[in-house]
Homo-oligomer: A and B are copies of this chain.
Amino acid sequence: MTAPVPEPKEERLARQVRFLVEVDRLKEVLRRNYLADGSRVETTAEHSWHAALMALVLAEYAEAPVDRDKVVAMMLVHDIVEVDAGDTFLYDREGQRDKAAREARAADRLFGLLPPDQGRELRALWEEFEAGETPEARFAKSLDRFAPLTLNVASGGRAWLEHGVRREDVLRANRHTALGSQALWAYMRALVDEAHARGYLGD
């Protein structure tokens, strides 16, 4: 048996840059929800920044103690697979069906661009998020819902009105937020009630 051949350093950096330039396309994936001012929908890259910043600011509300830095890193990579798989609207039942398979293929390709050690590290973060079983993943999933809901209310419910979303759809689709944070879920329920009272959500 021979020792594994070390990767030349320049090739390592070249792979890392290839990955970073490839995932630049996350700036072109459009989500359904609007910016707070309602001027346009946000890109997944913008959402990823906002959600990571939320992890930094809101970590104290996690249901179980979390490694805040790990949640931040998770938010940075949680949607990278959308470069290949696109964004699937929470209320699109058809798209939700094959979402997992599409995203697993995307993860193979995208994280595979990195040097193996880093590909494994970032993919593990994404898989942990997807599985939603650790305190960090549960809280990350709460933030992933908290972010668009807050923007939907701020923008006058524009995305909800366009897609005819009902109050009970929002409550059902977001209820697992409570697993990651009872405090954020309570805040979201109050926002939903307010949005419903204002006519942003149907019955």
Contact = CB atoms under 8 A, between A and B. Distances in A.
Interface of A: 9, 13, 16-17, 19-21, 23-28, 35-37, 39, 42-43, 45-46, 48-50, 52-54, 56-58, 61, 69, 72-73, 76-77, 114, 118, 122, 150-151, 154, 183, 187
Main secondary structure of the interface of A (DSSP, over half): helix
Q: Most B CB atoms within 10 A — which of A52, A77, A118, A154?
A: A52
Contacts of A35: 24, 27-28
Q: Oligomeric state, in number of copies?
A: 2
Contacts of A73: 56, 69, 72
A26 B37 CA distance: 12
A50 B45 contact: yes
Contacts of A122: 56-57
B58 A16 contact: yes
Contacts of A69: 69, 72-73
Q: Most B CB atoms within 10 A — which of A58, A76, A151?
A: A76
